[in-house]
Structure 1
């Protein structure tokens, strides 16, 4: 039996790397692989991604990541524990899910486990951080370097001089979603309420779009109040457009204040966290998805919305975004950080149900390329190529 070991800095925190790792691990286990998921550190607030995992799970350190450099004694214990985990695996592959994992794992990998580097960010994000140099220095020596889109793989090959790049996207949820009718008046934003998501820009753009669509400055209840609405339908009870933000985080109160300053306190609904099991309902109630992040790898929320036939308006921040949002075909892209352009794109689709439905139908068809079985096929093709 072929083994696949996924090594993460932390395998159980709420996050995209972790979610994708457990999803792919479960899929490969279902295809007959002996799969192990390794977290170098424990999560402060562990999330259970798979109810009945078909793979084995290992945590190396009892301390969370980011608590400082580990001691020499802890590093020795880490190497010893990793060797014990790798001893349980047979011949196969070790997927190292981030640049920080690579130097800590490669030194103790047995020859029978071929190392594959994976990078969950975009080239644009790597270029602005230490990641680009780390990927360039370390991933070229591995059997393969896996990126989220063809565009990212090409740019890393050219700029980081990597000879071994592959493109494998993140998988969407396993079961098909139902299609939204796109008849409501709700713009949806999904993500942690943190600075990198730039929901402040989305609120500003939404306010401008409302002014353009309705011809006047929005007004309504005073700060801290919200218009009567039913979360199960697509807009406020009076038929006006709303922006619903699904997620929680440190920016919550600041965003509430920003909505009030923009005159849309009664139209911006901070929904808090919604469990994964409830997200289909959120997409079905939406007519548009908006993505305002400073950087993204391959944003699953865009693909999930597309699976419901909901088109996206997004800042063009990465090859992963462009692989999901084909401008003018499955959604609309605007230049990064360009709030007026984001407002204009929102207003364009808010005023045209026909265009929303055209883009949404194309987005739903396009999302089929990101179904789990398609993504697992690409992983197996990579395994076959590496061992050829």
Structure 2
């Protein structure tokens, strides 16, 4: 599967406190997203990539079109430049009826605001004579489409599946804009193949990096299950609470469920947790500064989402040596968790099956240790140095 030896050799070039030194020539790289500072896995990936490439000697600018209403700090000492095009969040407006669905409360901007923001992006691009513009979403691609940047190579990213895009504006925008880019990147081979079958000829694969890989894995001694992510309905933390409540009484030890993250359904989830009668064994941690410590203090990582194209929590948990229980909702999840090898996969929405999988791992310490070791080894191919190597190889490919 992953060439672990190559990843290890790449890591040998790491300077103290930094990422592996690059043998590639320095490049100028722009990352553009609609909102690069909100809480979310894709935002964390953007900042991780920008920092990694900058520490390798590349000149990197992360461009957020919109400022976040609740900005997050992902890198303590950024080595890259971060620019926001609009000066303030736009006022929210009610949803309107359009030929395609518009998210409720989508911000609206005046023509003068839009023009000024686009001039700012054009000015950033004019500062360089060449480089690469990595566009992080179809909406970002649509927004920048009338900004003249012919001297930059264009790379589009899509972090979801073809099925997620079908029937939504995403597919139309990908076909309209990404088809003319130098490369369109997807998270795994299955996703790239699906878009290729549907008339997108320039598809490639670029996995998300796992930004954590501690020197020592989790000891797997604490009877603790961890979940991490934004608390929204699609993450199905309600299913996780039900499954844990069903599995916990049969465990020999007093297992604890830790839920890391925040979001609009937190209050409802806390009420559900209280109703289980498990008291303080279901703990809501909220947003934490050191998510790696949460993984290292746990023995099982979980994902219960109805839809998840990748699953950053699975990658980070695996890098810390945790076995996983996850809903089998995509090829991306299966790339991170092989059923019976480094974790257990359950049908989407199957609370009873999820409880049984939890109970199996909770009751078998040796199985947890074997699967945890395989998880960590599996993640070596997704380490940041390895993914940065792939980005540099892609730049070389485009230059040829």
TM-score interval, normalised by the smaller of the two chains = 0.7 to 0.9
Contact 2:142 2:173 in 1 (8 A): no
Describe the superposition over 1:136-175 as per-residue Cα deviations: whole angstroms up to 9, x where unpaired: 33322211111112222222222x3211111111111255
TM-score, with length taken from structure 2:
0.85
User: Please, which of 256, 261, 280 is the counterpart of residue 292 of structure 2?
Assistant: 280
Q: After the TM superposition, which of the residue ranges 355-364 and 64-73 deviates more from structure 2?
A: 64-73
Residues 56-135 of structure 1: pairs in structure 2 closer than 5 A = 56-64=81-89, 67=92, 68-127=107-166, 129-135=168-174
User: Please, which of 271, 296, 320 is the counterpart of residue 308 of structure 2?
Assistant: 296
Q: After the TM superposition, which of the residue ranges 354-363 and 181-190 deviates more from structure 2?
A: 181-190
Partner in structure 2 of residue 3 of structure 1: 28
Partner in structure 1 of residue 331 of structure 2: 319
Count of equivalent residues: 361
Partner in structure 2 of residue 384 of structure 1: 396
| Structure 2 unpaired stretches of 5+ | 1-25, 93-106
Structure 2 residue 205 is matched with structure 1 residue 167: yes
Contact 1:98 1:118 in 2 (8 A): yes
Describe the superposition over 1:213-268 as per-residue Cα deviations: whole angstroms up to 9, x where unpaired: 46xxxxxxxxxxxxxxxxxxxxxxxx411211112222222112212333434421
Structure 2 residue 172 is matched with structure 1 residue 157: no
Contact 1:310 1:360 in 2 (8 A): yes
C-alpha distance in structure 1 between counterparts of 2:285 and 2:201, whole Å: 45
Contact 1:10 1:65 in 2 (8 A): no
Partner in structure 2 of residue 182 of structure 1: 220
| Structure 1 unpaired stretches of 5+ | 215-238
C-alpha distance in structure 2 between counterparts of 1:354 and 1:334, whole Å: 21
Partner in structure 1 of residue 385 of structure 2: 373
C-alpha distance in structure 2 between counterparts of 1:190 and 1:375, whole Å: 23
Partner in structure 1 of residue 58 of structure 2: 33
TM-score, with length taken from structure 1:
0.87
Identify if the C-alpha distance between structure 1 residues 373 and 20 changes in structure 2 by more than 3 Å, giving closer, same or farther.
same
Three-state SS of the structure 2 residue aligned to 1:41 is: coil
User: Please, which of 126, 131, 144 is the counterpart of residue 183 of structure 2?
Assistant: 144
Partner in structure 1 of residue 268 of structure 2: 254
Contact 1:124 1:317 in 2 (8 A): no
Q: After the TM superposition, which of the residue ranges 252-261 and 172-181 deviates more from structure 2?
A: 172-181
Contact 1:117 1:142 in 2 (8 A): yes
Shift of 1:51: 2.6
Partner in structure 1 of residue 13 of structure 2: none
Identify if the C-alpha distance between structure 1 residues 303 and 385 changes in structure 2 by more than 3 Å, giving closer, same or farther.
same
C-alpha distance in structure 1 between counterparts of 2:120 and 2:108, whole Å: 18
Identify if the C-alpha distance between structure 1 residues 266 and 78 changes in structure 2 by more than 3 Å, giving closer, same or farther.
closer
Partner in structure 2 of residue 222 of structure 1: none
C-alpha distance in structure 2 between counterparts of 1:125 and 1:184, whole Å: 37
C-alpha distance in structure 2 between counterparts of 1:126 and 1:360, whole Å: 33
> Which portions of structure 1, spanning 4 or more consecutive aligned residues, are displaced by more than 4 angstroms?
211-214
Three-state SS of the structure 1 residue aligned to 2:86 is: strand
C-alpha distance in structure 1 between counterparts of 2:391 and 2:90, whole Å: 28
Q: After the TM superposition, which of the residue ranges 177-186 and 138-147 deviates more from structure 2?
A: 177-186
C-alpha distance in structure 1 between counterparts of 2:116 and 2:65, whole Å: 11
User: Please, which of 272, 282, 292 is the counterpart of residue 268 of structure 1?
Assistant: 282
C-alpha distance in structure 1 between counterparts of 2:272 and 2:216, whole Å: 34
